[in-house]
A and B are shown apart, each in its own frame.
Chain A
Amino acid sequence: MRKAANDIDRCVACGVCALQCPREAIDIYKGCYAVVDVAKCVGCGICEKACPAGSIRVTDDGVGR
């Protein structure tokens, strides 16, 4: 299944992805980076379209690049 995966080294923790996620599957972990709850994620890619840093991407199985 396709899931969102976040490059935590690149993430700026702005929280746009979390705001846009229709499943509320994304949280900003302690102001450091976004964490995707893969159990909730349906791989819609709305977060990817919103992310200004290009750090969150929908990939196969939610594995980082």
Chain B
Amino acid sequence: MASNKKKHWYDYLWIWSIVYFALGFFNILFAWLGMIDFILPLIFAIVGGNKWFCNHMCGRGQLFWVLGRNLKCSRKKQAPRWLSSKWFRYGFLAFFLTMFGTMVFQTYLVFSGAGSLKKAIKLFWTFKVPWHWAYNGSVFPDWVAQFGFGFYSLMLTSTLIGLIVMVLYKERTWCSFCPMGTMTQGICKLKNKSGKN
């Protein structure tokens, strides 16, 4: 679709999404690279007042499109309306940030020596999956790896949720309640409001 349009290098960032998870499978320290996907959209929103990252660069969204539309893995049905309602979007953002905070706190516990490094990832904030092969010590202290496991869990969980809603509903249904998307749109709306006054 729209194949007459010129392709850009950033149209292929869905490959990055796959590479990211592959790298983290072999070495959990690569999970830190996911911070790029956290910080870049915020920079675009705070400095540029736009969602250029979501609109053009989000490898996750592109992956859902490639799988859902190009490889026909989506039912393409409209998702229930509450899924993209404001209360659900901001509620999910709050939940996500809370879980992110918990993960940072667990990293702090390892940093302070009150906790020990757990070489496992947690899916859907519930199911522990052994992941010990991805870390055998490094020049970095243990908390660096702990953050890696935590962050990788978060990224994998959100991708799995995205894949589920991709199959059940429209290809990029994840985008309608993606915490980063909600956050950046919120920032843009605030910026736009304050600019007018």
Binding site for B on A (CB under 8 A): 10, 12-16, 18-22, 28, 30-32, 46, 49-55
Contacts and interface: CB of A to CB of B under 8 A. Distances in A.
Tell me if B's interface is mostly helix, strand, loop or mixed: helix
Interface of B: 1-2, 4, 44-45, 48-52, 54-56, 61, 65, 76, 78-79, 81, 84, 89, 169-178, 181-182, 184-185, 187-189, 191-192
Tell me if A's interface is mostly helix, strand, loop or mixed: loop
Contacts of A21: 2
B1 A12 contact: no
A28 B81 contact: no
Given A32-B185, A46-B1, A54-B79, A12 B192 contact: no
A28 to B, nearest CB: 5
A24 to B, nearest CB: 8
**Which of the listed residues A10, A21, A22, A52 has the most CB atoms from chain B within 10 Å of its own CB?**
A52
16 contacts: A10-B84, A12-B177, A12-B182, A14-B54, A14-B55, A15-B51, A15-B56, A16-B175, A30-B50, A30-B188, A31-B48, A31-B185, A32-B189, A50-B170, A52-B173, A54-B84
A13 B185 contact: yes
Nearest to A10: B84
Contacts of B174: 52
Given A10-B84, A12-B84, A15-B56, A28 B50 contact: yes
Contacts of B79: 52, 54
A18 B56 CA distance: 10
A22 B169 contact: no
B172 A50 contact: yes
Closest 4 CB pairs of A and B: A15-B55, A31-B188, A14-B175, A31-B51
A13 B78 CA distance: 17
